[in-house]
Amino acid sequence: MKKIFTFLPFALLLILSSCGNDNSYTLNGNIAIEDGTKVYILQADQNNQPFIKDSTSVKSGEFIFKGMSATPQISYMQVEGVNGYVLTILENGTINADLYKDSITKSNVYGSKSNDDFIKYKIETKSLVDNMNSISFAAQDAIMNGDVETASELEKDYNKIQQALKYQYLPHYLLLHDYYEKTAR
């Protein structure tokens, strides 16, 4: 009997600590849009085709999702009637989202480690991405003007920056590349 009482506090501690790590998430969001507008969480299936994982409705400019995620899941939020997607990483904890219907790409998802890391990555690489976009536009102009030599040099510059970006930020690069691939569709 005495052994049971010494084991009981240990078992209770084990149960309570496992309850704190239940793999649940809560995604609290806000958007200035009409009540009743649907917000969807999309994920890709094994054929990389999007499917609706969950949906909810906006009420008084707010929405909420609750779910389970044993590991971080790359997902996208889409708002009914709004073009574009917002990268969202579903993972254990509380996630916040500030969505902007008129500029969905400027929306922010934050509050969990992976979402905060993604924001940090976008900030750190913004100047590189802007530079790559500038080179790309200049190369297009050169091609339109028949200046193949300049276009070729600009393409080399673009590829050098892209390679540097890949090696410096490879894990984040893959995530960003996937994000832009999905939003470009």
Same domain? For 103 and 142 the reply is no
* Residue 74 domain-assigned (yes or no): yes
Provide the β-strand partners of residue 30.
62, 98
Element (H, E) at 94: strand 93-98
- How many domains, in total, are found in the chain? 2
Separation between Cα atoms, residue 92 and residue 10, nearest integer Å:
25
Contact (CB, 8 A) for 99 and 81: no
The string of pLDDT tens digits covering residues 9-59 is 443 333 444 445 579 999 999 999 999 999 999 999 889 899 999 999 999
Q: Which domain holds residue 50?
A: 22-111
Separation between Cα atoms, residue 98 and residue 106, nearest integer Å:
9
Q: What is the DSSP letter of 106?
A: G
* Residue 140 domain-assigned (yes or no): yes
Separation between Cα atoms, residue 76 and residue 179, nearest integer Å:
9
* Residue 14 domain-assigned (yes or no): no
Using DSSP, state whether 171 is helix, strand or coil. Answer: helix
The string of pLDDT tens digits covering residues 71-99 is 999 999 999 999 999 999 999 999 999 99
Same domain? For 87 and 47 the reply is yes
* Residue 131 domain-assigned (yes or no): yes
Using DSSP, state whether 119 is helix, strand or coil. Answer: helix
Residue at which a domain ends, from 69, 87, 111: 111
pLDDT for the residue 89? 95
